[in-house]
Amino acid sequence: MIEIDDLHKQYRSRSGAVAEVLKGISLRVPAGGITAIVGPSGAGKSTLAKCISLLEKPTRGSIRVNGQDLSLLTGEALRRERRAIGTVFQSSALLQRKTVWQNVALPLEYLGVVPHEIKQHVGALLESVGLSDKAARYPAQLSGGQRQRVGIARALALKPSVLLADEATSGLDPDATAAILHLLTQLRDAFGLSIILITHEMDVVRSTADAVAEIRDGRLVQQGRVRDLLAQP
């Protein structure tokens, strides 16, 4: 469960001008569900995502994950709690000179996991995203959908309780999009993951999300169950 309360984020430019990008967002993301965050370009979705994944520090307000306020943490505690949240980006941000296997193993190597455990865990992760037969390939030898699967496997390597997907299906064709969404649903069910889907694609929200939150100009304008807010016309 993620509880976001009165979250503000300001950026200060070099000239000293202040831009308030998040203007007091309060939001609940229930455990074990898929919550979509939607809104027009420039609304603040990516900034919110960066605050949730602890890449940006909010100016004010709190984000609690499983009851713990992550903005209060520093050092080792922050590094440990950061693992609770796995992130997948639009371009999946894979290292081009490393194989699929090596890309997925990376977070485990940084953590100092012993080689035979890495081997076992990476094997299981590739199997859970359906890429066991592509382990030796390089990212450039994969389709867009396959690259996103590698990004998902890597995001799951440290067994997070939350998976944050920022425009993870943008730029994929409809079949690849449907396959990624099906995979996310399976992962939610298999691991009890809470999934946050940041997207501008309303079809994705309708087909996959349980709950939806709409952001406009840094403010939450509505939040609720998809079947209540987005009833088919």
Residues lying near ligand ADP in the complex (CB under 6 A): 11, 19, 21, 39, 41-47, 121, 124-125, 128, 156, 159-160, 191
H/E stretch holding 116 reads: helix 115-128
Nearer to ligand ADP, 38 or 141 (CB): 38
Nearer to ligand ADP, 131 or 175 (CB): 131
Nearer to ligand ADP, 45 or 82 (CB): 45
Please state the closest distance from residue 233 (CB atom) to ligand ADP, in A. 25
Nearer to ligand ADP, 141 or 222 (CB): 222
Please state the closest distance from residue 39 (CB atom) to ligand ADP, in A. 6
* 3-state SS record for 91-113: CCCCCCCCCHHHHHHHHHHHHCC
Nearer to ligand ADP, 11 or 110 (CB): 11
Pairing of strands 219-225, 211-216: antiparallel
Return the SS3 of 127: helix
The Cα 41–Cα 97 span in angstroms is 32
Nearer to ligand ADP, 25 or 125 (CB): 125
β-partners of residue 23 are 8
Please state the closest distance from residue 206 (CB atom) to ligand ADP, in A. 20
Please state the closest distance from residue 69 (CB atom) to ligand ADP, in A. 22
Please state the closest distance from residue 140 (CB atom) to ligand ADP, in A. 26
**Per-residue DSSP letters for 12-66?**
E-TTS-EEEEEEEEEEEE-TTSEEEEE--TTSSHHHHHHHHTTSS--SEEEEEET
Q: Tokens 């996310």 appear where? A: 184
C-alpha count within 13 angstroms, C-beta hemisphere, residue 152: 32
Query: 14: exposed, middle or buried (C-beta count within 10 Å: 0-12, 13-18, 19+)?
Result: exposed
Please state the closest distance from residue 77 (CB atom) to ligand ADP, in A. 20
